A and B are shown apart, each in its own frame.
Chain A
Amino acid sequence: MKSLDDLKKIRDAAQRKVTMRGKNEGTRILVGMATCGISAGARPVMNKLVEDIAEKDIPNVTVTPVGCIGECAIEPIVEVLEGEKRTTYCRVDVDVAERIINEHIIGGKVVQDNLIGKYRL
């Protein structure tokens, strides 16, 4: 340890290790992971979301599996919670997951194609 900069480097690299613990006030992405969700392919979707967030180093976004959302027919379902705002996507596959990250989380624009309204009339 030769300087404060050295310490800061370790700190910045290590922060990812602990930021998840504590209050999470950022964006939360929920993935429906009940039996139906898993069989519809929710797990690779979740993994993709987690990987992209890490790779692109997006701060304050967590991915959490949640139980049955009650729409088994249009799984996998992914919900994005930003404060009070809730956006629900369905029939999400790995490609759509990538779009959610790029267009919605980073770009701030909802991915219209997979909004739940389109499927549930």
Chain B
Amino acid sequence: MIERAHVLICSGSMCVSRGAKSLRSEFEEHLTRLGIRDEIKLVNTGCVGLCEQGPFVIIYPEGVFYALVKNKDIKTICEEHLYKGRIVEKLVFDEAMTDEKEIKAFDEIKFYSKQTRVALRNCGLINPDDIEEYIARDGYRGLGKALLEMTPLEVIEEMQASGLRGRGGGGFPTGLKWKFAYQNESDQKFVICNADEGDPGAFMDRALLEGDPHAVLEGLMIAGYAIGADKGYIYVRIEYPTAIEKLKIAISQAKELGLLGKNIFGSGFDFDIEIRLGAGAFVCGEETALIASIEGGRGMSRNKPPFPAAKGLWGKPTIINNVETLANVSAILYIGAKEFAKIGTEKSKGTKVFSLGGNIKNAGLVEVPMGTTLREVIYEIGGGIPQNKQLKAVQTGGPSGGAIPESLLDMPIEYETLVEAGSMMGSGGMVVIDEDNCMVDICRFYLEFTVDESCGKCTPCREGTKKMYEMLEIISSGEGTLEDIDRLEKLAKMVKSSSLCGLGQAAPNPILSMLEHFREEFEAHVVDKRCPGGVCKPLIHLEITKDCIGCTKCATNCPVDCISGSIKQLHEIDTSACIKCGICKNICPVDAIISV
């Protein structure tokens, strides 16, 4: 029986955690009951990108996009849509419906139409457990072309012509890195895929591995061929069990088809891939620490040079590339460097995947051409800030990056522009910060993370991050002075310049960039003893304004009973007893409670 419809069920980690796990068995049950099981193909895919609105079910050939799907909805979808051909309007994703109630197909939705999918080309579209679906979408053609029609040097030149730069954070030109490793002669060389993904909140690499593992394997093999390595490792954190499982399946399927192993494509090239699990320490994403960890040692960084391209794993020339970088590699070999280089800007070619989070409506995974502005990403793709709040800043680069203020939102996204603005591309975390956040508090959050993650080998980072964290605590408690802010800045600069590895060198970045753009907010904490974002507890006072309608909700819910007032009367908070939990503020139906 030939299937007339394909039902794609997003089975990315986010959707699974939101209840997508049993959707498939629901479909099986109802389709069988209706006697149409044979007519419909069920496909579990990777993340489709709009995680916040998941679980998703997409039905082809119409391309209807169902969002927030629950188990009980499956019966309706089967009976109405699949059996009778009536689209279940109430389940269709909001933005996939025009004002005239017409249903837009998947790729006409604004969230997608503004994106360009290169690395994520198959994510959410194919079954990652079926190598044939990857091959049907021209998978492994790039590898075949490299092995049979190009010399290793030509592959490297193609990479250089594409302008691809590392997506793991540093932005180093990929082709150039390969060239170094190519030129270093050795009896043995290695390639490593860095799937450590340590930035809090980032999940681009996980989504790629879960949704399209072959794209990464193919990229790794091409890298191996180019530098002359016959062995590859994928270093992935143990907290990513689904990604690991998908990789294992992909590797065994590739072996079965002879795409991994001896004499691939009859070219004489042999290649083998092994998965190595990391315990999930941030520093192990740093390349020298990662190598130490694969070798079985403690994950600690060492001085560079020598760079891994000269002396890497077990002292042999080694290339380390990020997951997303490798997914781009396989695309470039297939579409050609010329086509790839048409995407993006002069200095930053191609696209970048971001995990969009924080105060944003369409939180999820987006891939945009370099040169897209932050404003486009946030307002057109991301759908803007919920509750029409004011945007304060966008944080990029995670604990190693900085914050870009609203005034710079029209800046195009490029490696250089982000650095000029005091932040960086990083691996792709993008956190939207609205007016109700405090910049001192956000710095504290990142520093708490780096204090925990510092490997402790060098003093500036080990002691410096701790000290900076303490100073931020003092400022946020209102007990700091203007001198404290200056001292914090001085210390931050010192840690930045004297730490051994990228972790310590970048740990002060959130502080430095926030001081550059939001210094007045720090000053408000020490001079006016006020937290403008209304976050730092010691500095906030809750107050009830005249807007109070006397509903008594706040009084009923206050855990320490410090709100008084009778029904339909203006209420009042006893600020000396208030523990500033904020419950009342969140519950007030007319927003009459404000923090001052």
Contacts and interface: CB of A to CB of B under 8 A. Distances in A.
Contacts of B534: none
Interface string A4-48: 100100110111011011111000101111110010000000110
A67 B141 CA distance: 42
A70 B86 CA distance: 13
B259 A1 contact: yes
Interface stretch (B57-65, B447-455, B489-497): B57-65
Given A33-B85, A38-B84, A14 B63 contact: no
B61 A62 contact: yes
A85 interface: no
Kindly state the interface size class of chain A when it binds its partner: 35 or more
B486 interface: no
A98 to B, nearest CB: 16
Interface string B93-134: 000000000000101000000000000000001100010110
A16 to B, nearest CB: 8
Contacts of A32: 85
Contact of A64 (B61, B105, B132, B140): B61
A65 B86 CA distance: 8
Given A22-B125, A31-B85, A1 B258 contact: yes
A106 interface: no
B125 A4 contact: no
B148 interface: yes
Contacts of A11: 135-136, 138, 141
B264 A10 contact: no
A58 to B, nearest CB: 11
B135 A34 contact: no
B83 A33 contact: yes
A27 to B, nearest CB: 11
A64 B39 contact: no
Given A22-B125, A67-B85, A10 B257 contact: yes
A15 B135 CA distance: 8
A65 B140 contact: no
Contact of B84 (A22, A54, A65): A65
B233 interface: no
Given A33-B84, A50-B4, A7 B135 contact: yes
A28 B63 CA distance: 13
Interface in B50-86: 60-63, 82-86
A4 B2 contact: no
Main secondary structure on chain A at its contact with chain B?
mixed
A115 interface: no
A22 B132 CA distance: 17
A14 B145 CA distance: 20
A65 B265 contact: no
Contacts of B148: 3-4
Contacts of A30: 85
A51 interface: yes
Residue with the highest number of chain A CB atoms closer than 10 Å, among B6, B132, B136, B144: B136
A14 B133 contact: yes
Contacts of B133: 14, 17-18
B136 A51 contact: no
Contact of B63 (A2, A24, A54): A24
B137 interface: yes
B136 A14 contact: yes
A72 interface: no
B266 interface: yes
B8 interface: yes
B39 A50 contact: yes
A116 interface: no
Contacts of A1: 257-259, 264-265
Contacts of A67: 84-86
A116 to B, nearest CB: 18
A20 B106 CA distance: 13
Given A17-B133, A67-B86, 13 more contacts: A2-B266, A11-B135, A11-B141, A14-B136, A17-B130, A18-B133, A21-B60, A30-B85, A38-B83, A46-B4, A51-B1, A65-B82, A66-B86
List the 3 closest pairs (A to B, CB-CB), nearest first. Answer: A65-B85, A54-B2, A1-B258
Interface of B: 1-6, 8, 39, 60-63, 82-86, 105, 107, 125-126, 130, 132-133, 135-138, 140-141, 144-145, 148, 257-259, 264-266
7 contacts: A4-B144, A7-B144, A10-B132, A15-B136, A17-B132, A22-B125, A65-B82
